[in-house]
Structure 1
């Protein structure tokens, strides 16, 4: 190993982090949003799965949906008192990961299946975005092997964007290279937002993805942003200017 070159490299930039009270953390996770959970047994065994955040009550209980797992996994991991690490994505403000540790308080199988945890004393909020992100709802297409997938561009910044589509559609793996094509219907201009998928979550029956742009994608994004205007609730394409020249 070349120690000189290793020392010359700058350490990666740290994400902005802050600690918040546990009950306050619940306000950062939208109801129905998918989160990542990891059960840790006293022997150090771990089980990772996804579950939807249902909400919390005035007695400081947190409720999550039950994942579909093998019977032996329920018997081995879903025991009262086992620690659980939970990570959810907050879409408020600059966007953040909400991370905290709690424990299994109740496992409800009937009449409906629920996981119940106590609200943690504190949680960690890890800010994800260093740039302004614009909320919008623009249709776009991603070219698949045999067809175009219609998606909705939900937000965009100079470095990346978010998009969503119906959950029954195909799923993209993290780091998959894609091109999200947006067309301005008023003038036909096309913006090819190219880059790689970085995260995925399911929310209210839809797949929600985040992607980071490559250099051509960033250039096309700058073109896109220069042609958007805020309409009071979201960003939309600017209306074409009317010809002011006198008629002949």
Structure 2
């Protein structure tokens, strides 16, 4: 892989945490991403749930989907003015956990159920990775007990990768050992990215997971990276025909 063509580079040293202000914090959560929310009542009672980030407006409002809970919990916890802690994942580049506290501004049940919060004054970013991950969109397979699960390799680094598939399929457990096989249809080469599942969540109707490679997985990942080229948007397999054509032109000149 020609890293000189990479649009973003890793700086030699980074702090693991930093603070961003106001609306800038919203740029670090992708629309449709599932986040973890915790309502804290004035008496210290807590309710944890998952919800999807919808977006924000120019009037400093944040919008989240409403979780499916019992009526009793709605009545006890979803009250305007209660504090709420939110954590979301920023997946691009180095990757970061975005954490901030705000409060419940509005609870809307009709015609669409939506939670509305004020934009926080600041948020904390906690870096999750030691190196940049590069965006991909390569098909792959994970061998299950009785069949293969078709997945998409969404990003990769030398130590791990992300993948996704339709949320209707099964779930993987944290620390579950898997092998994600990626095949280059132009060369028929196969790369076995082996390791353990580290995290998972639902995003835009898909299950998305991160995995960390073991030593054999790292070795096959290095082989895979050598076959990729940046096309202006993401990394794709190099076309060996184009490479041969370029070499022939060079030899004739």
Tell me the number of residue pairs that the alignment of Structure 1 and Structure 2 aligns: 232
CA shift digits 1:92-145 (9 cap, x unpaired): 332211100011111111111111111111000112222132211111001112
Structure 1 residue 15: Cα displacement: 6.5
CA RMSD of aligned residues (A): 1.9
SS of match in other structure, 2:28? coil
Moved over 6 A (4+): none
Kept in 1, the 8 Å contact 2:93–2:132? The answer is no
Kept in 2, the 8 Å contact 1:191–1:221? The answer is yes
Q: Which runs of 5+ in 2 are unaligned?
A: 1-13, 249-253
CA shift digits 1:73-106 (9 cap, x unpaired): 1122111221111011112332211100011111
What CA distance in whole angstroms lies between the structure 1 residues aligned with 2:35 and 2:23?
Answer: 17
Kept in 2, the 8 Å contact 1:28–1:92? The answer is no
Equivalence for 1:78: 78
> Greater shift after overlay, 117-126 or 190-199?
190-199
Equivalence for 1:125: 125
What CA distance in whole angstroms lies between the structure 1 residues aligned with 2:141 and 2:123?
Answer: 38
* Bigger proportion of residues as helix: 2
Q: Which runs of 5+ in 1 are unaligned?
A: 1-13
Equivalence for 1:103: 103
What CA distance in whole angstroms lies between the structure 1 residues aligned with 2:160 and 2:207?
Answer: 17
Provide the TM-score with structure 2 as the length reference: 0.86
Give 1:30-109 correspondences, 5 Å limit.
30-109=30-109
Equivalence for 1:208: 208
What CA distance in whole angstroms lies between the structure 2 residues aligned with 1:37 and 1:94?
Answer: 23
